[in-house]
Amino acid sequence: MNVERCIRFFAGLMILLSLALGVQASPVFVSANFLWLTAFVGANLFQFSLTNFCPLAILLKKLGVPESSGSCGKGGCA
């Protein structure tokens, strides 16, 4: 798994978790304040798409997660 896939996995997990904990209809509801986490993750994904800066990516790289899997070949992806 490469950095980009880890970021997508982590963001999706955080969104689902925060919705489960923040929506009143959920059986594991804790507080509606968990919806702020959903908003934060969404805003972080938005700014990452514009600036290509992601603190999680920096952390993952320091932990040794490879940047790309090389699945597109030597010519790069089209």
Nearest-CA neighbor of 48 among 3, 2, 18, 16? 3
> For 1, what's the count of Cα atoms within 13 Å in the CB-facing half-sphere?
10
Write out the chain's pLDDT in tens, 78 residues.
Answer: 999 999 999 999 999 999 999 999 999 999 999 999 999 999 999 999 999 999 999 999 999 999 986 655 554 454
Q: Which residue shows structure tokens 């090389």?
A: 70
Q: What is the pTM of this model?
A: 0.79
Long-range (24+ apart) CB contacts under 8 A made by 45-48 are 45/11, 48/7
Cβ atoms within 10 Å of 17's Cβ, excluding its own:
15
Q: What is the DSSP letter of 26?
A: S
